[in-house]
Every structure is written in structure tokens, then in C-alpha cells.
Amino acid sequence: MRLLFASLALAGLTFSLETHAGEDLSTAMRRAKYLLNGAMPTDAEYQTGAVSQDTYHRAVRSYLEDERFYDTLLRYHERVFGVGLPEDYLEELLRSDIDGKQEKFASITCGRFGGSTKRFRCVWSSTLERGASVGCPESWEQPVSVFWYPKLAAWTCPSVVKACGQDLSNCFIRSNNEGEARNSELGTTETFDSRYAVIRSLGRQAAGLATAVAVENYPYTKILEPGLTALDGAIAHFYNQKHHFRIGELNLDPEIVDIVRKTSFTDTRFRLLKTSNYDYASAGVMTTFGWLRRYDKNRTRANELYKRLLCREFTADLPRVFPQDPGNLRVAPGCADCHSVLDPLADFFLAWGEGADLYSGRQSAVNTFFNGKRGSSVAELADIIRDDKAFATCTVQNAWGWLMGRKFYKDEETLRTSLSDYFIGTNYSFRELIYAIATHPAFLQGGRTDGVVTDPLQAPPLGEAPSSPSISCNRTYTYAADIQPRIGLCTGCHSSASTSRQSLTSESQWRTWGDTAVKMMASGQMPPGPSNSAVQALKDAVYCWMEQNP
């Protein structure tokens, strides 16, 4: 910051850091609109929005409903998750041959060959590389509507259409204008290159999933939902390239590939895709290709989720001298402080390979633990994380940092707690969390600090269960009338015959396990599959019954 002041002073562009106590709706509105929509308010918007708190609140609500909120939220999640991929990661998945003959790629190159006024053509890349003509006489070429920009008519030879389909989506596209293709957004321009579009979308997949969950106002706990992924047109196009890439080695649920085949390739925004199977190796953002490949070692995956989803850091006093062979890090002095937590947490990811072996197939389930809870898969790790209030608190911290430009001060613990409780109380509505912060009196203050928080609030504590959303128990609840008729939602798995799951068939068992069941239903972890009003009704009934019969 000091450098900034120095630079501005050199340029003659000094500004005041004086704090203007009190509310400044114009300043707050400018910040809210820019951060949520990426644009500045106009004079007309100020005249209607910065009049009173009510009009300001309406303005913020309109920003959350604006289509540009998707874009700013996507970027927010990219920064929070820190996930992105360089282009060469795509090459790991390239097939070197498709039928035993090397270099037989179904690639086509598209562009306006010979000048911008020429017609847009797509030709076999191999013919261009050989310096041959573009493949067939011009009179044979036929126009097709291409999947990446349907309003464009691309002229191409019959052999290309036959192999690549009427929209060319079955082939990998190269652009003859790579510079422009790198900065082009799918669906906005005729210039398209599969390499850049696909790797950019794969890198953003975790951010896209979380963004779609938040924009569609699903509970934010769904970002860790087993069986949930997100895709846009570029990823759908990629999944369709089995002859070009080793798609099978991505451990995709076959249901995903089936669904992708029936979807549009022109989606420029990520949309959610949920499979019907309960996939134990899947946990929303943590098992997207981008996350697993970017954080390519199990310890790194554990470390990053600890930091980015729970806002906690592994820190310890390092030994003055590192032993050459410390042995088991989980118990070695100087190492155990971190590794006794980090390594068991990393073991949850053993179902996936590391580094370029990511594609080597799944291993068997593990028996490990985190935060005092045992589990055997990434899906169970996701449940442990979602079932801890630290996840909600960390989400609040991240959103607060984005909008306020600073961390919480130590003195703001009550505020952080009340925001976390509100977030949980809205069943993890990220949209309402943003609204709550952007309309908070602190956000409306006209003054600005330099963002250096010298006494920050400590990391969210682990081990606290999210408090149940406020339920009004305004009548008497009984086991026989309110719970027993609904337990069929659970007894399919939690039956008395089950040897691996706790039975939930009797009143006494519900008395013992009801509290845990309420938390798991509240956070969307149980029962597996989509939550619905019947699950919510059972959860509320169990909660009230236990409150009234402690």
C-alpha cells in the first residue's frame, strides 16, 4: 500500500485517506454495482437508488438479479478456489492414435483463409499442415451452422461434415487466428479454438459449479455434493471427443457422458449436472478435473481445501534442524503438529491418482479420519466438511473479504457469528449472504481504510456443528404422529437388517441419533440424493420433538 501512495504522489495523483464517518449511499452503491455487476452506476441510477436505505436495498437486489452477477461471481470463485490450468494439461489426455495409426486426429482448422473478406471455411488440419489445398473444390463445399457460433455459416467439404457432424462438434477445432481465439468467449465470435476454450472451461469448472449453485440459489453446501458437476458448451464438446482424448480415463460417471450427448454445445455459462448414482469418489468442486489436476498431490488437495473451504492454515513451529529421515511424519517431533491432521485428511483422496496419474483409475476405499470423524471416501469427507460450522463461517469470511476489501477484525467476532448464523438460517443461501453484507451498515460507511488488519479475527474453529435453521415448534410433536410416518425416507438404508449403517427404525434409536440426523438433513447430506419438502418436514419434526422431549 505504501508503494501505491508513493507512486501516486510521484504522479501528482494524491488522495485523501480521511475517514468520513457515517453512511454514504452513493459510495456504497458504486462499490456494490461494480463488485456485483462489473459496471459503474449512471446518474439516473443514483437518482433512484441512492435516495434512502430502501431504494439502496432495491438497487442491491437488482444487482443480484442482473445477468452480469454470474460473471462477477465466477471470477470471485476462481479467486477463492485458486484453480486454473495451463494449456499443456490438455495434452496429457490426447490420444496418440485412434486405430493403431499414429497422428490420426480428427482436427479441423477454421477461419477466413486469405483475408477477412473471404468466406469462413473449415478444413482438415492435416491438409493445411501438408501445404495442400483446402481439401475439395470450392463448388463442393456446403455451409454448416457451427456449434460455437450458430449464426455463422462455415463452408466445408462433405468429408468434414460426414466426420464432424452438422455442427462440427464431433471434431476438435483449431483457429487460424490463435491470438484472437485465446481471448474469445464461446458463443460471442466466429473465432474459436477448442484447445483454449476447453482448457479455460476445465480450469474454471470448480468455480462454475459453485457459481451456478449460488446464482440458482441452491444451498451452498451443494458445492460439495457427490454426483454433482458443472459443464458449459466447451466441456460438453470436450466430453464428446472420445476419439481425440482419453475421456474414459477421467473417471466420468457414464451417466454424465450420456447426458452430455443430449445437451447443447452453445452454453456459454456453466450449468449443473447431477447424476442419479451416489458417487463415493465425487464431491462437487473438490473432484472437478480442474481442482484435482491443479492441486495434484493428495497433501496439496488436503491443504488447499483446509485453506479455501475452512479458512484454516497448517502452521507449526518448524524444528531447528530437519532430520534426514524423519520417518512417519504423523508422529515425528516437529512434523506431527501438521501431519497428524494433514496426512489423514489427504488419505481421503486416495481414491484418485496423483499428478499425471490422476487418470490411472480409482483405488479402493480408505479408512481415515478428519476433525474426529471417520470416513472412507471423498464424498464422506465432503459430508464432514459440510457438517462443520467452519464451512459456513469460512464462506462468510470469503464473501466479507470480497465486498469489504478486508478481513474481520478481532472485535468483529459477534458480527461474523451473526452473519454465519444468518447464512445457515437461510439454508446456506449465498445470494442472501451477499445481500446481507452489501446492505450492512458497515458496507454503507463512506470512509475507507488501507485494508491492513493488524489484529484479525482467528480462523473459524473446527468441531462446531451448524446450528439448525430457525424452526418454529408452534405445536406439540410426537414420535407416533410426526416422525414414524416419515422415517421411510431413512429406513431404506438405515434398517434393522443393515450391518453397516445405524438402524433408525425405533423411537429409542431416533432419540439417540435424532440430533445427528437433523444436522445431516439440514446440511443436505442425508438422505442421499436430492433434498425435498418431505425431508425438510422430517427434519423439522425430529428437531421439535427432541426440543420438546429433551
What residues between 504 and 543 interact with other proteins by CB under 8 A?
A: 524, 529-533, 535-536
Task: Name the 3-class secondary structure at 535.
Answer: helix
Residue nearer to other proteins on the CB measure, 20 or 374: 20
Using the contact rule CB under 8 A, the part of the chain among 154-162, 211-219, 369-377, 489-497 near other proteins is 211-219
With CA atoms as reference, report the closest residue to 107 among 244, 14, 284, 240.
244
Q: Which residues ranging from 27 to 66 are in contact with other proteins (CB under 8 A)?
A: 27, 30-31, 33-35, 37-43, 46, 50, 62, 65-66
The letter for the amino acid at 352 is W
CB 270 within 8 A of CB 214: no
313 lies in the binding site for other proteins (CB under 8 A): no
257 lies in the binding site for other proteins (CB under 8 A): no
Q: What are phi and psi of 391, to 5 degrees?
A: -65, -45
- Residue 260: which residues within 8 A CB-CB, separation 6 or more? 231, 236, 239, 240, 273
Residue nearer to other proteins on the CB measure, 380 or 412: 412
356 lies in the binding site for other proteins (CB under 8 A): no
In the complex, the smallest distance separating the C-beta of residue 385 from other proteins, rounded to whole angstroms, is: 18
Q: Of 77, 301, 386, 431, which lies in the binding site for other proteins, with binding defined by CB under 8 A?
A: 431
Q: How many CA atoms lie within 13 A of 383 on its CB side?
A: 26
| Cα–Cα distance, 440 to 448 (Å, whole number) | 15
Give the distance, in angstroms, between the CA of residue 269 and the centroid of all CA atoms in the same chain: 13
In the complex, the smallest distance separating the C-beta of residue 28 from other proteins, rounded to whole angstroms, is: 9
# residues contacting other proteins (CB under 8 A): 129
Q: Of 141, 225, 354, 388, which lies in the binding site for other proteins, with binding defined by CB under 8 A?
A: 225
| Cα–Cα distance, 437 to 428 (Å, whole number) | 14
Using the contact rule CB under 8 A, the part of the chain among 174-182, 319-327, 340-348, 358-366 near other proteins is 174-182
Cis bond before residue 527 (omega within 30° of 0): yes
| Cα–Cα distance, 352 to 280 (Å, whole number) | 11
Using the contact rule CB under 8 A, the part of the chain among 119-127, 166-174, 366-374, 423-431 near other proteins is 423-431
| Cα–Cα distance, 254 to 377 (Å, whole number) | 20
Q: Of 160, 173, 223, 273, which lies in the binding site for other proteins, with binding defined by CB under 8 A?
A: 273
Burial 469-501 (b: 16+ CB within 10 A, else e): bebeeeeebebeebbeeebebbeebbeeeeeee
307 lies in the binding site for other proteins (CB under 8 A): no
Q: Of 114, 143, 254, 441, which lies in the binding site for other proteins, with binding defined by CB under 8 A?
A: 441
Using the contact rule CB under 8 A, the part of the chain among 92-100, 364-372, 447-455, 542-550 near other proteins is 447-455
Q: Of 422, 473, 509, 511, which lies in the binding site for other proteins, with binding defined by CB under 8 A?
A: 422
DSSP-derived letter for residue 351 is G
Q: Which residues ranging from 276 to 295 are in contact with other proteins (CB under 8 A)?
A: 276, 294
439 lies in the binding site for other proteins (CB under 8 A): yes
Q: Which residues ranging from 106 to 165 are in contact with other proteins (CB under 8 A)?
A: none
23 lies in the binding site for other proteins (CB under 8 A): no
